[in-house]
Amino acid sequence: MSFLRYSSFLLLLPLAACGEGPEKISAPPQPAGSGHAPMGAASGQMPNDSTHTGMQSPHGTQDLSGEAKLIASGTVELGGDFAGVAEGWLFVMTRDAETGGPGYVSKVAVADGAMNAAGHQVVPFRVSTGDFAMGAMVGDDFLLEVRYDHDGMVDSKDGNGTVTIPATSGQQDVTVLLDKVD
């Protein structure tokens, strides 16, 4: 094909479309009782509860009932260098106790918390098997890492802080104090 014919073909190709615009295609509905829960933003819902803004795992490890298993929940108190902070994001991540490899991660809005009498924002969190899985599956004992990020962007570093504590699977009363900027 000559260059001229090829160029004409490329110019006329858009005119060969059927004349209708793009059409949004949604996932088919799942039958009731199938054990398959819709995943992620496509379902229009976030997992677990109204304060959880975590990312849903596209290949999560849910049990047969389709319910996500609790790994840990509790509160993060922003004190010290973070006293008075009422905006930003917390990344709550599980890490393997031996290797330090990442497990599940939940992203929580600091604004979902409430200021206590000391002027510290106290933010509830929940990490479950329905959250974004980054690699290592956690055992009964693991590390819980909480990272404050002022803009929610992983690559920004200024003004952020991180704390890591030991935790036990299924623990519901974890209290984390984050008080130092990295």
Domain contains 48: no
69 found inside a domain: yes
Q: Does any domain span residue 42?
A: no
Give the C-alpha separation, 1 to 76, whole Å: 67
Query: CA 55 from chain center: how many Å?
Result: 3
Residue 26 in any domain: the answer is: no
Find all residues with CB under 8 Å of 16, minimum gap 6, and list them: none
* Dist CA 163 CA 91 (whole Å): 11
**Does pLDDT of 14 surpass 50?**
no
Residue 53: is its pLDDT beyond 70? no
pLDDT the model gives residue 78? 96
78 located within any domain: yes
Q: By 3-state DSSP, what share of the chain in percent is helix, strand and coil, each rounded to 5? A: 15, 35, 50
Which has more confidence, 43 or 69?
69
Burial 115-127 (b: 16+ CB within 10 A, else e): eeeeebbbbebbb
In a domain, 16, yes or no: no
Q: What CATH number corresponds to the domain at position 122? A: 2.60.40
Distance between start and end Cα atoms, the chain:
62
- Reading the block at residue 78, the tokens are 């922003």
Q: Is residue 4 part of a domain?
A: no
pLDDT recorded at residue 22: 52
Among 151, 159, 133, CA closest to 60: 133
pLDDT tier at 25 (50, 70, 90 boundaries)?
Answer: low
**What is the number of structural domains in the chain?**
1
Distance in angstroms (rounded) separating the CA atoms of residues 148 and 163? 9
What domain range is 129 assigned to? 56-182
Q: Does 126 map to a domain?
A: yes
pLDDT digits (tens, 9 = 90+) for 62-110: 344 568 899 999 999 999 999 999 999 999 999 999 999 999 999 999 9
| Residue 155, both tokens | 């690559």
Q: How many CB atoms lie within 10 A of CB 97?
A: 16
Amino acid (one-letter) located at 92: V
Average pLDDT estimate for 45-50: 42
- Maximum mean pLDDT: which of 8-12, 61-65, 112-116: 112-116
